[in-house]
Amino acid sequence: MSVQYRLVVAKKDERVEGPDDADLVVSAPVAAVTADDFDATVGFMRGTVKAAGHTGALLDLLRSGEATAAFSRLASQL
């Protein structure tokens, strides 16, 4: 399964990691990701991290910590 992460910096400014035809697309605003205590799982439960695709795959991804790591990588490129 392929995953694409989108870090939303501004309205038409996004940092993207992953293929365009991904099975699961996860997005989050830069303000949430750069917060000191960012965790993608908590962000998803609060509604700041959004996802499109298979929910079971998303939950596995959040549990593994890969989503938090990917968003941190994208934020470090700013």
Residue 42, pLDDT score:
96
Q: What is the pLDDT of residue 63?
A: 96
Strands (E), the chain: 3-10, 13-17, 24-29, 50-52
pLDDT of residue 78: 85
For the chain of 78 residues, list the mean pLDDT of each consecutive stretch of 10: 96 95 97 95 96 95 96 93
pTM of the entire predicted model: 0.93
Distance CA 31, CA 53 (A): 23
What pLDDT is stored for residue 1 in this prediction?
87
Domain boundaries 3-76, corresponding CATH code: 3.30.1050.10
Amino acid at 11: K
